[in-house]
Structure 1
Amino acid sequence: MTKVGERSVRSDKKRDVKITVHTELKEMIYKLAYITDTTVMHLVEDMVIYAIGSKRILGEYSPCIVRDIRIDNALYVGHKDAERVGKSPSGINYVRVKTRLTEQEFTKLSSIAYGLDVRPARAAAILVDEAVHDEYFVDRYAKRYLTKNISDEQLMELKKIIEYISRDVEYNVSWANLLSYIIREVTDPVIEIKDKVNSFIVKSWRD
């Protein structure tokens, strides 16, 4: 905890960040938040943090960097003729979504914004869009939620179901798709996800 004047300021205090996103992107964010029982604010924070730490995502935007920046141990060189990402869009199809970041993460976000020559909120919106379209992030997020909320036995049964289904389809079934399906299909009057999963497992093997 540090002191500013006579006020004490927590070192882990978070800063508000309000991003502007398309309504379709907002729906995707809200859907993932719903199926993982996570607040939108927390989910968006996790998305920004993930994207900041993703060399793949930042690498894809390296052609758009106009000023040199260093994120963790990686240096991204700016170019005066770099492709501009543009300011935050506006209009009836765009809405604002709020999140909060620690000072450490906000500093990294501000560095990215500086490199892209945009405001931090615009940089955050770009990172969120990348994260929500990142299959690894979405799948890992769903699996992490399940791991925290169901038993080891239930998790093993779900793995068996995924393997069984994947043998009969042309694509691999993801944890995110399976979780979304369970939430949608299990209409029993149960509250906890572990009960929904149990009901789904019983029905799957019975059918």
Structure 2
Amino acid sequence: MNADDWLTDTRISYDTVALSYADQVRDALAGHPYLRAALALFADSVRAAGGGLVADVGCGPGHVTAYLHELGVDAFGVDLSPGMIELARRDHPGLRFEVGSMTELDFPAASMAGMLVWQSLIHVPDDEVPAVLRHFHRVLRPGGPLQLLFHVGTESQLKTQGYGGHPMNVHVHRRQPDLMTTWLRDAGFKVEAHMLLAPEEKASQAILFARHQPYQ
């Protein structure tokens, strides 16, 4: 499958489920104290690095972008799905949201103070991830934090239905933190910490706390 195929499938799938997905996640952070704590750490890291503009890449309907604003972060959202961006703008009219792909980030070099990438790399094929991480490195300024949230595992599954029973056609790639750490290191990041959520459950997730390092 080439890049255009999986990007098109991902965009159409999330346009299809946008309304149901937004309803499902709108208040999701309220029940996840560890996720809120990770966002608070991210916000502190942005401030400690001097503050500035932060990109929430794969923002969906914008609920996490809005939470970052509540924490005092100058965040905006980017998502491949126009349907998701339409809902984000509707639900959070005072914030900035734009359609875009993490495979071709249209931001100047070193223009971002931080980047949050929660559950959006999960649809990117393995052979595309290193290039995406290099895009992140290019647009982050030196010392800027990058936080990733992803499903833990080793398998990839085709998701054909979800979020209200609507049809989807996306692959969900589960990955081990060690593999993600290697990819990040190769792309110019230093991984400072990682957190496993529900490590004994099938639906385990990981959060990686990384920081931009200049290429040597």
Q: Does the TM-score normalized on the shorter chain lie above 0.5?
A: no
Higher helix share: 1
Structure exhibiting the larger radius of gyration computed from Cα positions: 1
- Specify which structure has the bigger relative contact order, considering alpha-carbon pairs within 8 angstroms and separated by 6 or more residues: 1
